Amino acid sequence: MSIELIIGILNIVLISTTPLVFAGIGELVTEKSGVLNLGLEGLMLVGAVTGFITLVITGNYFYSLFLSIISGVILSGIFAFLVLNLMTNQIATGLALTIFGIGLSAMLGKKFGGTPIDGLNPYYFIVISFLLVFFVAYFLSKTKTGLIVRAVGENHNSAYALGYNVIKTRYLTIIFGGVMSSLAGYYISICYAPMWQEGMTAGRGWIALALVVFATWKPWRLLVGAYIFGGVAIMQMNLQAIGVKLPGQFFNMMPYLATIIVLVFISSNKLRLKLSAPSSLNIPFEKNQ
């Protein structure tokens, strides 16, 4: 293998893995505070279509990025209100958010499908994704606010008794996660495959969700896991192209399979604690209990 070929492969791996890093790291922070948001796919699609439409109308990358972020704030804000204030079921609300996002993005983008745009250089986002993982890892382990987020996720009643504002903390982590998903969507429609087509995220939101579990809620492992998933997908394409026969369906299901194996592995309680799954994950918090 020549050097050019290897550099080319690494280049494709970097470009294709970045959306997983964005969506995954956002969801990791949300889950660390004890909230499971299954709405990533919907958030990504709305982020993608909002950015795309704004770019087509204004021609300005800054506005498109800004509005894409706003879409994430609004949608995840609604999700936060439902699960935190109205204490709706997180799984059902997250699924509803995904379904809503798929429908909303298809409706908004109807007139814009097939409009050619100039894509943005993906390397800005690739660099930011690495910085982001570093920032989140530092934030969760070394800062006081980060420890509060984790305390809220481990045991919200104790955190509340200590005087921490559980609801406010969770609002912020949910919105952070929402914005990261929007950015992942923005990256897909503006950098990765510069276009708008309905459902174009093609299940990457679900892979990002699986990735958080696969990484056992650790930021650096999430980065490694994302690059394992992304790297394997691109390697199998390269092997196919040089004529090696491979079971392609197997590689499509690999992220989910790997996640199930990790889930089985951590289902024993003692290990689970060690592996840092937030204990209050998916449990609603009631103030006056």
Partner 1 sequence: MLRKILTILSFLAVISVSAVHADQKKIGFIYIGPPGDHGWTYMHDQGRIYMENALGDSISTTYIENVPENADAVRAIRKLAASGHDLIFTTSFNYMDQTLEVAKEFPDVKFEHATGFKRMDNVSTYSARFYEGRTIIGHIAGKMTKTNTIGYIVSFPIPEVIRGINAFYLAASKVNPDVKIKIIWNYSWYDPGKEADAANTLINQGADIIVQHTDSYAPCQAAEKAGVLAFGQASNQEAFCPNSHMTSIEDIWGPYYAAKAQAVVDGTWSSEDTWQGFKDGMVEMSPYNTKLLPLDLILEAKSMETAIENGTLHSFEGPIYNQAGELVVKEGEVADDGMLASMMFYVQGIDGEVPQ
Residue 126 in contact with partner 1, rule: CB under 8 A? no
Tokens linked to 20: 């997983």
CB of 71 to partner 1, least distance (A): 19
d(CA 236, CA 225): 17
**Of the listed pieces 26-34, 147-155, 159-167, 188-196, which binds partner 1 according to CB under 8 A?**
188-196
**Of the listed pieces 129-137, 142-150, 191-199, 260-268, which binds partner 1 according to CB under 8 A?**
191-199
Positive/negative CA dihedral, 249, 122, 214, 48: negative
Find out whether 34 and 283 touch, Cβ atoms under 8 Å.
yes
d(CA 144, CA 152): 12
Residue 108 in contact with partner 1, rule: CB under 8 A? no
- Quick one: which of 141, 158, 165, 252 contacts partner 1 (CB under 8 A)? 252
Residue 282 in contact with partner 1, rule: CB under 8 A? no
User: Could you tell me where the beta strands, DSSP code E, fall in the chain?
Assistant: none
State which residue, 239 or 271, has the beta carbon closest to partner 1.
239
- H or E segment to which residue 210 belongs: helix 204-214
Residue 119: Cβ-neighbour burial (10 angstroms; 0-12, 13-18, 19+): middle
- Quick one: which of 194, 218, 254, 260 contacts partner 1 (CB under 8 A)? 194
Residue 152 in contact with partner 1, rule: CB under 8 A? no
Mask 1-30, x = binds partner 1 (CB under 8 A)? Answer: ----x--xx-xx--xx--x-----------
State which residue, 59 or 199, has the beta carbon closest to partner 1.
199
Residue 107 in contact with partner 1, rule: CB under 8 A? no
State which residue, 57 or 271, has the beta carbon closest to partner 1.
57
Find out whether 50 and 154 touch, Cβ atoms under 8 Å.
no
Cα torsion for 114, 189, 95, 32, to the nearest 10°? 180
State which residue, 2 or 269, has the beta carbon closest to partner 1.
2
State which residue, 15 or 136, has the beta carbon closest to partner 1.
15
- Other Cβ atoms less than 10 A from the Cβ of 118: the count is 9
Residue 269 in contact with partner 1, rule: CB under 8 A? no
**Of the listed pieces 56-64, 72-80, 141-149, 233-241, which binds partner 1 according to CB under 8 A?**
233-241
d(CA 38, CA 45): 13
CB of 233 to partner 1, least distance (A): 7
Per-residue burial over 56-78, b if 16 or more Cβ lie within 10 Å, else e, is: beeeebeebbebbbebbeebbeb
> For residue 193, what is the DSSP state?
S
CB of 38 to partner 1, least distance (A): 9
Residue 106 in contact with partner 1, rule: CB under 8 A? yes
- Please give the span between the terminal C-alpha atoms of the chain, in angstroms, as a whole number: 64
**Of the listed pieces 67-75, 176-184, 221-229, 232-240, which binds partner 1 according to CB under 8 A?**
232-240
Residue with tokens 């994430």: 72
The residues of the shown chain that bind partner 1, judged by CB under 8 A, are: 5, 8-9, 11-12, 15-16, 19, 41, 95, 98-99, 102, 106, 109-110, 113-114, 116, 119, 188, 192-195, 197-204, 233-234, 237-238, 240-245, 247-249, 252
